Amino acid sequence: MSPRRPPSPCIQPGCPEVVEGGGLCPEHRRARERARGTPSERGYGSKWQRIAARYLRWHPQCSWVEDGMRCGRPATDVDHVVRRKLLLERGVPNPDADEHLQALCHAHH
């Protein structure tokens, strides 16, 4: 069993809270999630769910490759190869097209 990381300060500048394992304190984590918006607001509503379901039917295995070996476990998640937000910023007309997607198992997503 590996040793646990010691508590460290919240990474939000000026926050005095100490966090187990590092990162943000619970208050700043909630604030970041609220600012991020809901999945629907980020473009992952019912239309995305239909796209993802279709993509998983055609790509049922995880496409993660490590050291030249494909994972091969059943795919559970559809992911954008390049972040969807970045594709939109670059003016890509259809960021949800198959060429921008990959099927991954939950562990690799």
CB contact at 8 A, 63 and 109: no
Question: pTM above 0.75?
Answer: no
- pLDDT in single tens digits along all 109 residues of the chain: 556 778 899 999 999 999 988 889 999 999 988 888 888 888 788 999 999 999 999 999 999 998 889 898 999 999 999 999 899 999 999 999 999 999 999 999 8
